[in-house]
Amino acid sequence: MSDQEQGLFGVAGTGDTSGFGGLVRQSPSTFELVSTAAPLGGYFDEVVGALRELLGEDVARAVIVDRGELTIHIAPDRVAEVCKTMRDDEGLRFELCSSVSGVDYPDQRNRLHVVYHLTSMTYRRNVRLETAVGLDHPVVQSVTAVYPTADWQEREAYDMFGVVFEGHPHLTRILMPDDWEGHPQRKDYPLGGIAVEYKGAHIPPPDERRSYK
């Protein structure tokens, strides 16, 4: 496989006036997370230590501290278990899941990431959980049974990125029509390349737009 791939949005040749057709990216590769060396500082060591004591040393694939924020990387089939423990353990008490977001890193084989922001209102602490899946099996456990606020946010990540949340009570599109094809926030989605009608106006794809050069 070549080290580089041309045309991120599938555009070849000239005529793309959007500028996206000229992008070059690295071919997908194995991405290795490198944990931050202990001690992590602040309450981070206490949180990670408690989680490992409760669920095993292998619960965290990586633990990273960056710009004063803690991210714990976990396996997609352990998300619900980890979240329930984070919520219910008396020493952790992360009662609130304020955000569930999708991210696409096309240069990674497990390119679809799901990020959870948890808050302990009891101890005034914040932690980020993150997991990653590939396009061949984009399945992550739903946390709606633990954090009901994740319902619509998981649906949005499914709609925009194609992540399937196993156990969600009603996993359907929330922004796009039910019969829409594709997931618009993936990096290889043809930005502007799908004809759109708005109040009778037709928006052509990038290679058909007028160039002002």
Per-residue pLDDT of the chain (213 residues; tens, 9 = 90+): 455 555 444 445 544 445 445 555 556 666 678 899 989 999 999 999 999 999 999 999 999 999 999 999 999 999 999 999 999 999 999 999 999 999 999 889 899 999 999 999 999 999 999 999 999 999 999 999 999 999 999 999 999 999 999 999 999 999 988 888 889 999 888 766 566 555 566 666 666 655 555
Q: In what order do the strands lie in the sheet with 62-66?
A: 62-66, 69-73, 125-133, 112-120, 96-104
Quote the CA–CA distance of 57 and 51 in Å, as a whole number: 8
Structure tokens at 157: 């990540």
Beta strands in 67-195 (DSSP E): 69-73, 96-104, 112-120, 125-133, 139-141, 164-166
Which residues face 4 on adjacent strands? 26
Write down the pLDDT at residue 114. Answer: 98
Write down the pLDDT at residue 26. Answer: 58
Q: How far is CA 205 from CA 16, 17, 198, 209, in A?
A: 9, 10, 14, 7
Write down the pLDDT at residue 187. Answer: 87
Write down the pLDDT at residue 24. Answer: 57
Place of tokens 């040393």: 57
Write down the pLDDT at residue 107. Answer: 86
The CATH number of domain 42-208 is 2.40.50.100: no
Residue 131 phi/psi, 5-degree rounding, is -140, 165
Considering only the C-alpha atoms of the chain, give the largest distance between any 2 of them, rounded to a whole number of Å: 63
Which residues face 165 on adjacent strands? 140
Contacts of 148 (CB under 8 A, 6+ apart): none
Q: How far is CA 198 from CA 67, 84, 113, 160, 211, in A?
A: 43, 44, 32, 21, 22
Of the candidates 186, 187, 166, the residue with the CA atom closest to the CA atom of residue 176: 186
Of the candidates 55, 39, 177, 32, the residue with the CA atom closest to the CA atom of residue 109: 32
Write down the pLDDT at residue 17. Answer: 43
Q: Tell which phi-psi region holds residue 111, choosing left (phi > 0), alpha (psi between -120 and 50) or beta.
A: alpha
Write down the pLDDT at residue 30. Answer: 62
Write down the pLDDT at residue 41. Answer: 93
